């Protein structure tokens, strides 16, 4: 198997006035094609910074990100944007749906932005994902008419609509109750197991993390052994 995500010596320091706030202090790991990897760690350990850098949404101060062997730094802004739109599906903790669009349009806009026309196969897959997520009856509603859990399920349908090779999720269950968390996590697992998508999920929650094949622990901007993660409570692996 080939590495589809390669993080090499990633470094990032935020500057607040004259104060340096180091967020990543040299983070390296590979994610193989078809893996489901969870990233856990205490608040402030650098997880979200890592997520934004891996997704090409923020630039690192040092190190490299390779997606499918392509170094982000070697791409123009337009090429990087195109790679992001076509290869990566994003799920954020706060859903990030457009308030004026219906659920259906929020999902389909990801396809429009990627410049794709829906094939019959796309439509069938989209309908299946919407049914699995239980949003098929809610597609004509705007986000304000949906519960938080429904909004996140729409956001996940949007992330999957282009059949991206990679799904990046930042605390996708952080604002959800356990029922909605289960739906979202099971869909991520299904997208990994059945659709072959590589999933990298950031989470605080050990139970959610156990949906991954492998767990990366972060602390103070570095990858550490699990026992160095003060909040880590191993739970029973949650695999099928
Ligand atoms: N835009 C920013 N400006 C300044 N400092 C930042 C910024 N974003 C993050 N930081 C700091 O960088 C460090 C890592 O933050 P980051 O959000 O990546 O951690 P995290 O593990 O995702 O935390 P949480 O679980 O609370 O979201 C923290 O010390 C944080 O305060």
Q: Where are the chain's structural domains?
A: 3-228
Q: Is the CB of 162 under 6 A from ligand 1?
A: no
Structure confidence by residue, pLDDT tens digits, 196-212: 999 999 998 889 999 99
Secondary structure E strands in 100-191: 166-170
Pocket test for ligand 1, best of 17, 47, 175, 217 (most atoms within 8 A of CB): 47
231 Cα to the center of ligand 1, angstroms? 17
pTM above 0.90, yes or no: yes
Does domain 3-228 bear CATH number 3.40.50.2000? no
Please tell me the distance from the alpha carbon of residue 151 to that of residue 155, in angstroms, as a whole number. 6
Q: Are 60 and 12 in contact (CB under 8 A)?
A: yes
Q: Is the CB of 48 under 6 A from ligand 1?
A: yes
Q: Is the CB of 14 under 6 A from ligand 1?
A: yes
Q: For the chain, give the percent of residues with pLDDT over 70.
A: 95
Q: Which residue, 219, 212, 146, is CA-closest to 176?
A: 146
- pLDDT tens for the chain, 240 residues long, are 689 999 999 999 999 999 999 999 999 999 999 999 999 999 999 999 999 999 999 999 999 999 999 998 899 989 999 899 889 999 999 989 999 999 999 999 998 888 888 889 989 999 999 999 999 999 999 999 999 999 999 999 999 999 999 999 999 999 999 999 999 999 999 999 999 999 999 998 889 999 999 999 999 999 998 877 766 666 555 544
- Which DSSP state fits 226? G
Please tell me the distance from the alpha carbon of residue 54 to that of residue 104, in angstroms, as a whole number. 28
Pairing of strands 198-202, 214-219: unpaired
């Amino acid at each position: 198997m080939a590495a589809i995500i390669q993080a090499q010596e990633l470094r990032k320091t935020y500057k607040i006035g004259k104060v340096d706030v180091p967020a990543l202090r040299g983070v390296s790991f590979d994610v193989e094609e078809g893996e489901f990897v969870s990233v856990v760690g205490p608040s402030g350990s650098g997880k979200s910074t890592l997520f934004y850098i891996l997704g090409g949404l923020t630039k690192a101060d040092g190190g490299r990100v390779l997606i499918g062997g392509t170094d982000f730094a070697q791409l123009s802004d337009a090429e990087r944007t195109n790679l992001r739109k076509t290869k990566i599906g994003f799920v954020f903790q706060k859903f990030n749906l457009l308030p004026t669009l219906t659920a259906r349009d929020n999902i389909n806009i990801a396809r429009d932005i990627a410049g794709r026309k829906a094939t019959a196969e796309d439509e069938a897959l989209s309908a299946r994902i919407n049914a699995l997520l239980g949003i098929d009856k809610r597609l004509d509603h705007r986000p304000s008419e949906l519960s938080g859990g429904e909004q996140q399920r729409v956001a996940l349908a949007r992330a999957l609509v282009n059949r991206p090779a990679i799904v990046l999720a930042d605390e996708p269950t952080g604002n959800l109750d356990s029922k909605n968390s289960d739906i979202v996590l099971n869909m991520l697992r299904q997208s990994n197991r059945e659709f072959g998508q590589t999933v990298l999920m950031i989470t605080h929650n050990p139970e959610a993390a156990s949906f991954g094949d492998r767990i990366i622990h972060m602390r103070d901007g570095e990858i550490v052994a699990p026992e160095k993660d003060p909040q880590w409570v191993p739970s029973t692996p949650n695999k099928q």
